[in-house]
Structure 1
């Protein structure tokens, strides 16, 4: 058994991490932190956990780090890097769910997130944990930067085609939509039921902070400077995410070639699945699970294709991928703690 601590356990990703880790056969939760909720019983924050024997919420400063093996950092961007810097040498592994160690260029981080990166030594050691494409780097990693939910959904849809040279890096368009939990657990008017129900809207148009993260990985994979057109939307559901990607095929390639490449990449994966030809994936079929489903279609525009990917933003897009990454760092079966079936209806 490994002893685990969740930093920021009072937020949605922290609660999802609690849900998954309490079902993991090799992890034991020894501390839960939450700066503004310190001193409270976890069941008072999330009554759905009342049947579990969980520690009370404390501050990070109150944790005894002596016997901690792994930290799942579910903290806000900015706060995460500072906290991780104080504990990185006290634990074996840190799995960071924030954006603080995703971008390799500290200047790009500062431009994207509006604050400096003050721990560039740690930044240089972080492994970008898109599990299906990072296993060789994850084994034994000390610091893992889990991808954002939008990048996870989009990159799983694009990378097999990019890696096989079937998709042009020019003019990639990503139209993505997320459930409201992607905005975090905040008491904001814009997230109130009456403000969100019966509607949908785009946000961060042309400026969303996940676009540079997607660019970074596609550039690294293709060897060509890549910049995508990315627009996120908020839709009135609790959890789930869909990314519809419009791409141009390289000369002489067909959608059949594309489909074959995706089957080759994913047919042995436990969590990524290719839909039958003509079938579009639906968020309702992956809800509360670590699964991703991908549909591949010929566009009516000759030479173009449409790739649709769905994930649960809190599971595969966040805490589920974090657990999968930790499993990979230990050389364990990646599915440990992640055998939860999608909830339907």
Structure 2
């Protein structure tokens, strides 16, 4: 156990949302981190257990500070700041941080290398374009070397995480036709955030499934950015998300056309080699179907590869917990990397089942 005085001093900006709660859940058990600031402007003045009763007593009596407005944080006493804010809100705060504070942003504010793409899809001008060139896209397993040296880390969205982990190695290896990728993805309701929305009401979600953001979801250009970088040219994908009547989890069913001479076995072997030794990405044996219940509450991504019955095609199945590997867990993983800590520190929890 790290001595308390030597622990990383952590702030969570936007602690009253689902990703904020997950960050607290993970960090109170992290032996090298201490949460010293929690912000939630609308709930400033409350204790965290008043907002999230399941976190009452987390870390020990009096271990967590009260919620405060972001303007009241003493940034000189912070080493790492996590941001779980709506889009457009992180940029001005991160721009004003002292240089010694490393920022790990779970919002889309720094995910796009081209600020114009961010502005197009999020309807806001980028408020800190000069910082964008400094930001690193934090898909940890594939960007680890860049994350190590970063001051601003943009954590990927949940759908892009589940899609890019299986796809990027295959595009880089030239084993699939990158222009013909179809992603049919399904997410739990927590992916929509904690704010009250009509579409997230129980009666709107239970006993059904529906597509949303059809041909217009903001994670599509993020996926395309990753695949374009891997391919060395502009790539477009067919991406449709669906909302499922469950709290957590993402299942991405990805349909690909094989490159000439390639087989599903080649895809599986390439992914298995790429992720050999990775603690959080598991490529499953032939015929094994991953399920969201197999990763619930964990920082794992599990990938299955299947030959389609249509000649020349294959099916990739990728599952994650959207709040952990798709958000807060990957953020803590990036903190571990940037701070030179063991990557699994605070993240070794096995999935919750059933």
Give the Å deviation of 1:92.
2.7
Query: Which residue of 133, 158, 163 corresponds with 2:142?
Result: 133
Task: Give the Cα separation in 1 of the matches to 2:232 and 2:56.
Answer: 50
- So what's the TM-score if we normalise by structure 1? 0.98
Query: Which residue of 183, 189, 202 corresponds with 2:192?
Result: 183
Query: Which residue of 177, 187, 192 corresponds with 2:201?
Result: 192
Task: Give the Cα separation in 1 of the matches to 2:93 and 2:189.
Answer: 27
Partner SS for 2:42:
helix
Task: Give the Cα separation in 2 of the matches to 1:134 and 1:188.
Answer: 35
Deviations 1:165-196 (A, max 9, x none): 11111210000000000000011222111111
- Structure 2's unaligned 5+ residue stretches are 1-6
* Conservation of the 8 A alpha-carbon contact between 2:83 and 2:105: yes
Query: Which residue of 154, 166, 182 corresponds with 1:145?
Result: 154
Give the Å deviation of 1:140.
2.6
Tell me whether 1:18 sits opposite 2:24 in the alignment: yes
1:244-255 alignment to 2 at 5 Å? 244-255=253-264
* Conservation of the 8 A alpha-carbon contact between 2:186 and 2:244: yes
- Residue equivalent to 2:74: 64
* Conservation of the 8 A alpha-carbon contact between 2:75 and 2:101: no
Tell me whether 1:161 sits opposite 2:161 in the alignment: no
Partner SS for 2:254:
strand
Q: Number of residue pairs matched?
A: 344
Query: Which residue of 310, 314, 325 corresponds with 2:319?
Result: 310
Partner SS for 1:29:
strand
* Conservation of the 8 A alpha-carbon contact between 1:8 and 1:74: yes
- Residue equivalent to 2:94: 84
Give the Å deviation of 1:213.
0.5
Partner SS for 1:134:
helix
* Conservation of the 8 A alpha-carbon contact between 1:20 and 1:337: yes
Partner SS for 1:170:
helix
- Structure 1's unaligned 5+ residue stretches are none
Query: Which residue of 202, 208, 211 corresponds with 1:202?
Result: 211
1:46-65 alignment to 2 at 5 Å? 46-52=52-58, 53-65=63-75
Give the Å deviation of 1:108.
1.0
Tell me whether 1:172 sits opposite 2:181 in the alignment: yes
Tell me whether 1:38 sits opposite 2:47 in the alignment: no
Partner SS for 2:37:
strand
- Residue equivalent to 1:259: 268
Structure 1 stretches of 4+ moved >2 Å? 89-92
